[in-house]
Amino acid sequence: MADVAKPADVAKPADTAKPADSTEKDLVVIGSGPGGYTAAIRAAQLGLKVAVVERDAVGGICTNWGCIPTKALLRTAEIIETLKHADEFGIVVEGVKPDFDKVIARSRSVAEKNSKGIEYLFKKNKIELIRGTAKLTKSGNRAALTVDGKALAAKNILLATGARPKPLPGIEHDGKSIISYKEAMALKTKPARLVIIGAGAIGVEFAYFYNQLGTKVTLLEALPQILPVEDEEVAAALAKRFKATGIEVQTGVKVERVEKGATVIVHLAGGAKVEAEQCLLAAGVRGNVEGIGLEECGVKLDRGFISVDLKSYRTSVENVFAIGDVIGPPMLAHKASAEAIACVEVMAKHKVHAVNYSAIPGCTYCHPEIASVGLTEKKAKEAGLKFKIGRFPFMASGKARAAGETDGFVKVLVGDPHGEILGAHIIGGASTDMIATLTLAASNELTSDEILSTVHAHPTFAEAMKEAVAAALGEAIDI
């Protein structure tokens, strides 16, 4: 997931800006995000000669401007929230005050360390890191490659160029008034008011973060629920919690225009308006497909994403492959990494760990956390599947009560009659870690029998998953 910052912004340390190796590479990966760097390392493990071309910071959006730095920010927000309830735990805490500069600095430092970690992994795996901008050129039926105009011989090319924030019609990011996640995680001053357009994972996470830091947050969503891809019940529970903690949540609203001045004023259909210091536009992302010579080489696109065969990740050009955000949703780092491994294994004619697209987990890291895998109740009904629903509230969990984390629940859709896990939705607890177990079950077609005969440690949040499955069968013990 190469970032799209202008080349002028990009620092090019002299030591890594050496010219391309003259010998041909088996694989050149374009982009060093979670798709690109994973592909490069797996390819090196399989004995391929690999180079990675990156025009910005190593690690892509995930490491530098996404997954990792936001988790650092959210940890701060969580601590603030916990401290607000310190007296419940018997601690007297006074004068809690976030130092915004330090919060941002810590997040940047975490990102930088992770980026360096990837550079180290490249060295360890003898992967050549080439700083520059790659471009495909036509070479017969195949594609060749240049980096900053210089030819780089490559047998195979893997496009892992990622995605970038998508503007709305008439509402473009300007980096000052209308910002993207990138500016939102490195603001100089904390805004007094923030309006967020789009209540997907990015919008929701920033809403939580800024709200805990004392910003007055308004979260706008065009669809009827926040976190539109999540289960309705889970989204409703989060919306309720957000409202209770002071976030103004408006769903089913259409943004007409954004008026920029000393402040920004977001005009909604029907005449309502929301005023704030800044507007975070988080209404989705689009693939980075421009300026890399795709058209010239005949790499076909479909609705703005690169078309690939989902088994080999080969594009319409024989020696060009693509993975991750640039081939389309779901736009998730772990989806990109899984595709990276499968793609490279196909390329190296190794045994392939194919991606199971029906069991890709999704996580949102506000508090309470949200995680899910498989179908939502609505989707399962639409598909005409027969299933039973099991729910287990953390209120009934000993561990959750002890931890003071009784918000939320586990909801599972258990297939009828075989007991397979059609979907699992968790809000609260340690959901983003817990989802791994249910993903393992869903991905490998384990059924309620296997889950119920697996001993779960007590007391844990994870017990709730087993209890939810038991509840679907009317066999729960603790509720």
Partner 1 sequence: MASIINMPRLSPTMEEGVLAKWTKKEGDKISPGDVIAEVETDKANMDFPLEDEGVLLKLLVKEGTTVKLGDPVAILGEVGEDPVKALADLKLGSVAAPAEAKPAAEAKPAAEAKPAAAKMAKDPEEETAPANAPASAAKTAAAPVAPPKSVAPPKSETLNPQPSTLNSTGRVKVSPLARKIADERGVDVRSISGSGPGGRVVKRDVLEARAGGRTRAAAPINLEDVLGPASQMRKAIARRLTEAKREVPHIYLTADATVDRLFDLREQLNELGGPKVSVNDLVIKAYAMALRRIPEANSSWTAEGIVRHGRVDISVAVSIPDGLITPVVRGAAEKAVTDIAQEVKSLAERGKQKKLKPEEYSDGTASISNLGMYGVREFVAIINPPEAVILAVGAAQKRAVVRERDGKDEMIIARQMTLTLSCDHRVVDGVLGAQLLAEIVKILEKPMAMVI
- Please tell me the distance from the alpha carbon of residue 246 to that of residue 215, in angstroms, as a whole number: 10
Please, are residues 34 and 324 in contact by the beta-carbon 8 Å criterion? yes
Is 420 an interacting residue with respect to partner 1 (CB under 8 A)? yes
Shortest Å distance, C-beta 388 to partner 1: 15
Shortest Å distance, C-beta 334 to partner 1: 17
Q: Return the percent helix, strand and coil in the chain, to nearest 5.
A: 35, 25, 40
Is 183 an interacting residue with respect to partner 1 (CB under 8 A)? no
Known catalytic membership, residue 458: yes
Count of residues that interact with partner 1, criterion CB under 8 A? 13
Please, are residues 213 and 192 in contact by the beta-carbon 8 Å criterion? no
- Of 85, 353, 418, 458, the active-site residue reads 458
- Please tell me the distance from the alpha carbon of residue 467 to that of residue 426, in angstroms, as a whole number: 13
The closest alpha carbon to 322, from 352, 302, 296, belongs to 302
C-beta neighbour count of 243 within 10 angstroms: 12
Q: Which of 9, 140, 351, 474 binds partner 1 (CB under 8 A)?
A: 351
Please, are residues 387 and 424 in contact by the beta-carbon 8 Å criterion? no
Binding segment toward partner 1, per CB under 8 A, in 130-138, 348-356, 365-373, 392-400: 348-356
Is 454 an interacting residue with respect to partner 1 (CB under 8 A)? no
Shortest Å distance, C-beta 415 to partner 1: 8
- Please tell me the distance from the alpha carbon of residue 263 to that of residue 280, in angstroms, as a whole number: 13
Is 345 an interacting residue with respect to partner 1 (CB under 8 A)? no
Is 446 an interacting residue with respect to partner 1 (CB under 8 A)? yes
Shortest Å distance, C-beta 418 to partner 1: 5
Q: Which of 447, 456, 473, 479 binds partner 1 (CB under 8 A)?
A: 447
Concatenated DSSP letters of 6-61: -GGG----GGG-PPPPSSPEEEEEE--SHHHHHHHHHHHHTT--EEEEESSSTTHH
Is 353 an interacting residue with respect to partner 1 (CB under 8 A)? yes
Is 418 an interacting residue with respect to partner 1 (CB under 8 A)? yes
Is 444 an interacting residue with respect to partner 1 (CB under 8 A)? yes
Shortest Å distance, C-beta 354 to partner 1: 7
Nearer to partner 1, 18 or 353 (CB): 353
Concatenated DSSP letters of 351-384: PP----GGG--EEE-SSS-EEEEE--HHHHHHTT
Is 450 an interacting residue with respect to partner 1 (CB under 8 A)? yes
Q: Which residues bind partner 1 (CB under 8 A)?
A: 351, 353-354, 415, 418-420, 444-447, 449-450
Residues with catalytic roles: 458
